[in-house]
Amino acid sequence: MQDLRWDRLTVLIVDDNRFIRELLTSVLKTLGVGKVVADIDGAAAIERLKMSLEDPIGAGIGTVDLIISDCVMPQVDGRLFLRWIRTGPNVPDRFVPFIMVSGAADREVVEAARDGGVTEFLAKPFASKTIAERLLMLVNSPRHFVLAEGYFGPDRRRAQMPVAEDRRVTKKEQIQFIRGPSSERTLRDDVRAIHFNLDDRLRDKLGPNARNIPVAFDPALIQAAERRIQKLVGDYGDWMERYVTAISTAQEALISGKGDQDQNLAKINEVAHELRGQGGIFDYPLVTDVGKSLYKVTKPTGQPPTQDRIKLIGAHIDTIRTVFKNKIVGHGGDVGTALLQEIEAAVKRYK
């Protein structure tokens, strides 16, 4: 296999969930990445990156080669963090590759990330193979950066393909071409866009053996990374008890009418979002399926929750509680099928 220097890379992980931070760190280290630093949200990551400009030792990080950030986080979420990276002042590197991670891979979420300047999108649940694939895309298919009215980031057109009719408004003569990571942030009066043609820094860091060839990982490394994920499965079942407790408490408040009902629904929705993204990673695909349904059921409607809606939420939480209590990993065979059928029946009954 190729002798590549993945150990020269530094990756910054930003995620408010400890298990996901540990998972990504473990996978990246197993794949050979040299340094991985993690922060709990965008605010902490911004402070670290600002500090790195003046005190890289104190910040624990110097040059960052890649950022992997969750989308939904408290305080400064992934989208705000991405906006700061691409357009904020005192950013160490506004051209740094940025992978957005989210359990919500809906079209509008992916498009919002794309329009914010994301480099790649990684949907939860994911496996070590998909993480490796995103890393390889950054190296094997790098994109130049574009500055246009209302946008700065990687070219949103991944490939130049022949079309019957070219509908692009901007013509070649209206594009300014700049070599390298320029600090230019404004358009001249006579241009509609700037294309920044960057050096292939990731490939260069991997060493001379990465030049002019498609880069790949040894399949054995990917298998080893997947085994590291599986080691976290048992611990995850215990960790999830905290989630079950949180949504059960919010459910009881909904039933009794205590507290702010919008906040109670928001708490359940927040946990459902986490569960739908994490369950499949840790061999609880049933939790992913039920979490997706619960997330839809608890989306804000602007109306107080009806009794039917509260009963439907309760049916979802009871199923999640059953899965974790009995540690029903995998698809659960006949038991898993029956549980999903009960959820489908509850959705029809209380819709």
Q: In the prediction, which pLDDT does 39 show?
A: 96
State mean pLDDT over 282-297. 90
> 233-350, superfamily in CATH?
HPT domain (1.20.120.160)
Q: Which of residues 52 and 104 earns the better pLDDT score?
A: 52
pTM (two decimals): 0.84
Beta strands in the chain (DSSP E): 10-14, 35-39, 66-70, 98-102, 120-123, 145-148, 151-154, 175-179, 193-197
What does the pLDDT read at residue 158? 64
Angle, helices 307-325 vs 285-297, to 10°: value is 170
Query: Which position has the higher pLDDT, 212 or 290?
Result: 290
Which percentage of the chain shows pLDDT scores above 90? 61
Instruction: Say which amino acid occupies 334.
Output: D
CATH 3.60.21.10 fits 6-141+202-227, yes or no: no
Bridge-based pairing state of the strands 151-154 and 175-179: unpaired
Mean pLDDT (whole number) for 132-143: 94
Which residue has 């819709």 as its token pair? 351
Q: What is the pLDDT of residues 259-277, one digit of tens each?
A: 888 999 999 998 998 888 8
Contact 346, 320 (CB under 8 A): no
- Tell me the mean pLDDT in the region 99-124: 88
- Indicate the pLDDT class of residue 297, thresholds 50, 70 and 90: very high
Residue 192, pLDDT > 60, answer yes
Domains of the chain: which residue ranges? 6-141+202-227, 143-199, 233-350
pLDDT at 255 over 80: yes
pLDDT score for 289? 92
pLDDT of residue 168 exceeding 70: no
Residue 273 confidence (pLDDT): 87
Percent residues over pLDDT 70 in the chain = 95
**pLDDT band with cut points at 50, 70 and 90 for residue 159:** low
- The overall average pLDDT reported for the chain is 89
- Least confident residue range of 56-70, 97-111, 179-193, 200-214: 97-111
